[in-house]
């Protein structure tokens, strides 16, 4: 049996200034969430390893996450932030080469004022620079960005991409289109993978049901197939709507319909493959 991997979670030392996106409706998140906190809940879901993902667009946070990963072996990889659109980006990546657990980078596209930011020249220049590093680029967008994202991916056919949170479909409103059609289109690009995470926080936090989630799960499994899907918690953000163990139990029930090989891919094999979790090679530049 392959390791079970939580392919998407965060860690932070909370301050109001650094996490100003956490508003009054998210008061449960206004505290520290540390590796020790995470390790306490991992056992409840039989999780063996994790991938820590940036929550702030700050190189200091990236280095802090990498240090935590070195100190806590169950954190098998880090997806950090670096200034991809900056001319200094190659030097930034070079400065991170010593960290063997840096396996990917992410920019918070969903918060950019310009909905076409992902198509900007400077940002795409940086993405081209990433190709030689073997780093995965994680796409954090909302549903409305999917048409631009398809064009973006087409400009980088050899780069490995991971779509975060299924592009945040409008689950609370029970709206499938045009998200569903765009997901099928994006999934035709074989260099794109998808994280099954962040669903309950796109639903009604207090009243969602598995029935609400089912059409969206059916779509990504049909579009991508288990070999290009990864399960992730989005902990601690998920705690606004679902407990850690509750979320993975839901995914395990859904995955029961898959073959044993497909379940292994979804529950860990795909993450192990694309983030090279069995490799401790440093990033090439």
Domain locations in the chain as residue ranges: 5-274
Return the pLDDT at 284.
37
Residue 18, φ and ψ in degrees, nearest 5: -80, -25
Return the pLDDT at 279.
63
Tally of residues, the chain: 285
8-state DSSP, 202: G
How sure is the predictor about 98, in pLDDT bands with cuts at 50, 70 and 90? confident
pTM listed for this prediction: 0.95
Using one digit for the tens of pLDDT, what is the confidence trace for 165-186?
999 999 999 999 999 999 999 9
Helix (H) or strand (E) holding 123, with range, is helix 121-130
**Fold exhibited by the domain 5-274:** TIM Barrel (3.20.20)
Q: Can you tell me the distance from the alpha carbon of 85 to that of 63, in angstroms, rounded to the nearest whole number?
A: 19
Q: Can you tell me the distance from the alpha carbon of 186 to that of 163, in angstroms, rounded to the nearest whole number?
A: 10
- Cβ contacts of residue 229 below 8 Å, gap of 6+? 193, 194, 195, 196, 220, 221, 265, 266, 270
What number is the average pLDDT over the span 264-272? 97
């Amino acid at each position: 049996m392959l390791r079970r991997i939580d392919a998407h979670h965060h860690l932070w030392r909370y301050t109001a200034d650094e996490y100003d996106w956490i508003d009054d409706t998210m008061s449960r998140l206004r505290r520290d969430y540390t590796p020790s906190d995470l390790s306490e809940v991992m056992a409840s879901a039989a999780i063996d390893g994790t991938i820590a993902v940036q929550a702030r667009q700050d190189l200091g946070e990236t280095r802090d996450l990498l240090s935590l990963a070195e100190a806590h072996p169950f954190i098998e990889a880090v997806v950090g932030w670096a200034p991809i659109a900056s001319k200094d980006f190659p030097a930034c990546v070079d400065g991170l080469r010593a960290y063997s657990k840096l396996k990917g980078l992410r920019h918070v596209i969903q918060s950019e004022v310009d909905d076409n930011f992902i198509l900007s020249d400077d940002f795409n220049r940086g993405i081209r620079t990433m190709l030689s590093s073997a780093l995965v680029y994680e796409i954090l967008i909302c549903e409305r960005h999917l048409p631009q994202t398809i064009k973006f991916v087409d400009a980088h056919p050899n780069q490995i991409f991971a779509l975060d949170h299924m592009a945040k479909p409008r689950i609370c409103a029970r709206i499938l289109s045009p998200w569903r059609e765009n997901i099928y289109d994006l999934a035709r690009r074989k260099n794109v993978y998808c994280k099954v995470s962040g669903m309950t926080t796109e639903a009604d936090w207090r009243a969602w049901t598995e029935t609400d989630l089912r059409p969206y799960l059916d779509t990504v499994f049909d579009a991508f197939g288990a070999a290009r899907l990864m399960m992730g918690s989005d902990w601690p953000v998920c705690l606004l709507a679902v407990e850690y163990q509750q979320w993975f139990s839901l995914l395990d029930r859904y995955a029961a319909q898959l073959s044993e090989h497909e379940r292994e891919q979804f529950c860990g094999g795909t993450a192990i493959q694309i983030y090279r979790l069995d490799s401790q090679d440093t990033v090439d530049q």
